Structure 1
Amino acid sequence: MKTFDQMIDGYRNFRATEWQEERERWEQLAEGQSPQVMVISCSDSRVDPAQILDVAPGEIFVVRNVAALVPPFETTPGRHGVSAAVEFAVQFLKVREIVVMGHGLCGGCKAALTQDLHGNELGEGGFVAHWVDMLDEAREPIAASLGTTGREAELAMELEAVKVSLFNLRTFPYVADKVESGELNLRGAHFAISDGILRVLNDRTGEFSPTD
């Protein structure tokens, strides 16, 4: 894997080729952004939403975190990074869609399923444990029926995590209002690293189906 110093060579190549070829577009982007879609995805290095969805700079507004989670709307003191990103995308950029995109082999979802990090000190897994504990309620039926290890249980946890984030998005009053008025659409998706298949959530059935 490349170091940052090695990546600088990549930047130089980008600057000499793609940036020059798309210079007019970059000049337009310098005037502002107007994406129609927000994507909430995992921080995992293997799942870059821009690459997976084949979009150009300026086309999606992205927030990435462990397990692509959205916490519920809260007014308690703290630093609400995801909430700030959602607020900015919905209220200021006026995005028309929010896509929560989970993925296969997600370490955050695995940690939520096994609860191996629960009880760890902060800095030793405690931050991760506290973040993914918002999946504890969703975990219970999965653990009861499929156990806490194995790919089947992990996949079920990954898919359920997407649904939890979509549910939590609807707890934001302005999100709920815009969904109700038809100004905003919420979508769920799951990208499988091993086979490259993107599955999209059907709101009516609650099932994820491979895209054509």
Structure 2
Amino acid sequence: MEDIEKFIRGFSRLQKQYLSEPAALDSLRQGQHPGTLVIGCCDSRVDPALLTGCDPGDMFVVRNIANLVPPCTPDAPPGVSSAIEFAVCGLEVARIIVLGHAGCGGIRALMSSARVTEETDFVARWMRIAEPVRRSVLRELHHKQHEQQCRAAELASILHSLDNLLTYPWIKRRVEAGKLALHGWYFDLGSGTLLAYSPRKQEFLSIIDPVGAAPERLCA
């Protein structure tokens, strides 16, 4: 009951902050016009709106295990793909952010030695989307510790999802026309930092450092 009461108090704060002003409420009633689609993980510690301090209507969010994007194929999971299609073709968002994070349980399941044994192992079946990431990490970092392999897979899976986004023709067309930008972000739970992928440097760089740390400028 404590959780339920906390949730109700939270809604009360939201009501006072956003829903008590007629103008703000009217704007929300008229429909949504987010400029950003965020594809994040289901992990309860990495809520995209909470992490970025967004207001209602700022972002369209798709969450799944390990923030994966399936490639555009006839048998692609319709839940994630349809949400992406609606955000891009319907809402015409200007950017897509794939938001990964440290300590991802889905990635750890992917990198585990255990394989799928039952058809009802939905997590393992879903994580097959990132199987190329697992193979690549194990091939290139076979000499590294398991934790290092998992972190490498967390980062690589973001890039894999960005590549998969470009298999959707209506995304590829918009990117090539300069109407849609793709971003890869990584929230490091251990250090409290936010990293973004720099295509120019081909690495993830800090865009928000811990308090007191000297910032490393991101050059996209």
Please report the TM-score for the alignment, with normalisation by the length of structure 2. Answer: 0.86
1:144: how far off? 2.8
**Aligned equivalents of 1:89 and 1:59: distance in 2?**
12
Could you say what secondary structure the match of 1:3 adopts?
A: helix
Q: 1:149 to 1:107 in 2, by over 3 A?
A: farther
* 2:34 corresponds to: 35
Does 2:139 align with 1:141?
no
1:138: how far off? 1.6
| Amino acid paired to 1:105 | G
The answer (yes or no) to whether the contact 2:116–2:125 under 8 Å persists in 1 is no
Q: 1:23 to 1:111 in 2, by over 3 A?
A: farther
- Residue range with higher mean Cα deviation, 105-114 or 2-11: 2-11
**Aligned equivalents of 1:23 and 1:152: distance in 2?**
51
**Aligned equivalents of 1:145 and 1:73: distance in 2?**
27
* 1:108 corresponds to: 106
1:207: how far off? 0.6
**Structure with more contact order per residue of length (Cα contacts < 8 Å, sep ≥ 6):** 1
Could you say what secondary structure the match of 1:120 adopts?
A: coil
Q: 1:32 to 1:8 in 2, by over 3 A?
A: same
1:157-168 superposed matches below 5 A: 157-168=153-164
* 2:12 corresponds to: 12
The answer (yes or no) to whether the contact 2:110–2:134 under 8 Å persists in 1 is yes
Q: Which runs of 4+ in 1 moved over 6 A?
A: none
Please report the TM-score for the alignment, with normalisation by the length of structure 1. Answer: 0.89
The answer (yes or no) to whether the contact 1:38–1:95 under 8 Å persists in 2 is yes
* 2:210 corresponds to: none
Identity of aligned residues (%): 37
Could you say what secondary structure the match of 2:103 adopts?
A: coil
The answer (yes or no) to whether the contact 2:37–2:93 under 8 Å persists in 1 is yes
Could you say what secondary structure the match of 2:186 adopts?
A: strand
Aligned residues: 207
1:154: how far off? 1.1
* 1:88 corresponds to: 86
Could you say what secondary structure the match of 2:97 adopts?
A: strand
Q: How well do the aligned residues superpose, as a CA RMSD in angstroms? A: 2.0
Q: 1:20 to 1:97 in 2, by over 3 A?
A: closer
Q: Deviations over 1:1-39 (max 9, x none)?
A: 953354224323433x32455442122111011111100
* 1:120 corresponds to: 117
**Aligned equivalents of 1:7 and 1:115: distance in 2?**
39
The answer (yes or no) to whether the contact 1:120–1:129 under 8 Å persists in 2 is no
1:192: how far off? 0.8
Does 2:214 align with 1:207?
no
The answer (yes or no) to whether the contact 1:40–1:100 under 8 Å persists in 2 is yes
**Aligned equivalents of 2:48 and 2:155: distance in 1?**
17
**Aligned equivalents of 1:10 and 1:53: distance in 2?**
17
The answer (yes or no) to whether the contact 2:66–2:106 under 8 Å persists in 1 is yes
Q: Deviations over 1:164-195 (max 9, x none)?
A: 10000000000001111111111101001122
Q: 1:183 to 1:2 in 2, by over 3 A?
A: farther
